[in-house]
Structure formats: C-alpha cells, structure tokens
Amino acid sequence: MPEHTVSSFDQELKEIGRKVVEMGGLAERLVADSVSSLIKRDGALAQKVVLLDTTVDQMQREIEDRAILVIAKRQPVANDLREIVSAIRIANDLERIGDLAKNVGKRVMAIEGEYHPAKLVRGVEHISDLVLEQLKEVLDAYAARNEAKAVEVWGRDSAIDTMYTSLFRELLTYMMEDPRNISVCTHLLFCAKNIERIGDHATNVAEIVYYMVTGQNLPESRPKADASSETTLAFPGRSAQA
C-alpha cells in the first residue's frame, strides 16, 4: 500500500477511535446527570438527559457508517480489522447506555413532586457511584488500549450485581413497611435496574477492549451475582416470591 494511502488509513482509524471516545464521554455524562437529577429531584436536568440521548444515537450511527465505509474502501485485516469492528461494537453498547440513562431520566420526571425520604435514594446513589467508576475506567482502558485495566473492570461486575440485589431487597422492605412508599420505590427499582444494566454494558465494553488489543476472548464466563429474582418476601400470613 503506498505511503500516502497508509497515512490516510491511519488517520481514518484514529478518527473512528476519537469519535468512540467522544461518544463515551457523552454517555458517561448522561448517566451522571440522570443520577444527579434523581438525587436532587431535578426534573429539568432529567428532561435534558432525555433530549440529549438523541445525540448519542446519532453518534452511534455516524461511527457505524464511517467504520463500514473504511472496511469497504480499505479491506483491513488482523489488528486494523479488529479495531474497526470493536469500535462498532463499543458504539452499540454506548448507545444502549444512553438509552438506559434516558430511562432513568423519564422515571425522575414521573416522580417529580412526589415526596420521598432521602434514605430511599441513598442505595441508588451508591450503586450509581460504582457503575460510573466502572464506565470511566473502561473508557480509559479503550483510549489507552490497556487490556489489563479492561480485565479489572470485567472482574468487578459481580460487585454491582451484589449491590443491586441488596438494594432490591431494601426497596421492597420500604414498600412493605409503608404503602405510601410503593409508587416511588417502584420507580426507584426500575432506576436501579437500568443502572445495573449500564454496569453490564460497561463489562461488555471491557470484553471488547480485551479482544481488540489481544485478539483473544476473555477465557472465563463473566462473574454474575444478581440474586434479585430469587428474593423471597414474607408477608403477614403468607409468603410471596419477588
């Protein structure tokens, strides 16, 4: 391949990578803002998150279009092909993260004006902090092409699942203790599940980064610890499966 062609190809690869990093930064911001809107009961910020999700969607389409064009023009192989395919896959996960942040924003708008004690959102705040840390670190791993950091993120997925299971049980307990909490806690349960799913997508990105850098898939099944579907609650006079 002529030298000027190689240089042009390298620039195209760098531009795709830059777009993925930019998209990741926006997705991270949407997650942070959606959680902040929940904690602060800020309906205006929640609405902003919902509206900005369309920008994330647009960036995903742009990355995919650019990547497909480069594949068609350059017919890359080996490392270059892995990098382009990985960019498409990561952009898809980031698009889903944007959707999940939007879902949280919609829940915040739904409970705006309803009274809820601060303790009800404390657990959601804690799991959000962990997920945001995972998301930031995996995006850093992608930018640095750091497979070791990607493996670290991948290995911590079970911690998020464990926290989600605990939060699930805690919110159900609040609902049982006081029926006035049922509406708000139901929305918070959906928020918590969306946030937990964001953690899953961060782990997906970690797997993709590892593959992109090494050419190998991670050797073991992902550690999972979500036991919310097995939670059993004891109501007065009967029992119920959560």
Which domains can be identified in the chain, with CATH numbers?
7-225 (1.20.58.220)
The token duo for 56 is 């994330």
Contacts of 160 (CB under 8 A, 6+ apart): 127, 130, 131, 134, 196, 199
pTM: 0.87
Q: What pLDDT score does 239 carry?
A: 43
Contacts of 242 (CB under 8 A, 6+ apart): 168, 169, 172, 228, 229, 231, 232, 233
Q: What pLDDT score does 227 carry?
A: 59
Per-residue pLDDT tens listing for the chain (242 residues): 555 566 788 899 999 999 999 999 999 999 999 999 999 989 999 999 999 999 999 999 999 999 999 999 888 888 899 999 999 999 999 999 999 999 999 999 998 877 777 788 889 999 999 999 999 999 999 999 999 999 999 999 999 999 999 999 999 999 999 888 898 999 999 999 999 999 999 999 999 999 999 999 987 666 565 656 555 554 444 444 43
pLDDT digits (tens, 9 = 90+) for 131-148: 999 999 999 999 999 999
Do the Cβ atoms of 7 and 13 come closer than 8 Å?
Answer: no
Cα gap 242→169, rounded to integer Å: 9
Q: What pLDDT score does 238 carry?
A: 43
For 25, half-sphere exposure in the C-beta direction (CA atoms, 13 angstrom radius) is 7
Residues paired with residue 238 on neighbouring β-strands, in sequence order? 235
Cα gap 113→182, rounded to integer Å: 15
Cα gap 189→59, rounded to integer Å: 29
Residue 215 falls in which region: left (phi positive, over 0), alpha (psi -120 to 50) or beta: left
Element containing residue 182 per DSSP (H, E): helix 182-214
Q: What pLDDT score does 194 carry?
A: 97
Beta strands at 238-241 and 232-235: parallel, antiparallel or unpaired: antiparallel
pLDDT digits (tens, 9 = 90+) for 66-96: 999 999 988 888 889 999 999 999 999 999 9
Cα gap 131→124, rounded to integer Å: 11
Nearest-5° Cα angle at 164, 132 to 147: 45
Whole-number CA gyration radius for the chain? 20
Place of tokens 């080996």: 78
Cα gap 184→111, rounded to integer Å: 7
Cα gap 117→121, rounded to integer Å: 8
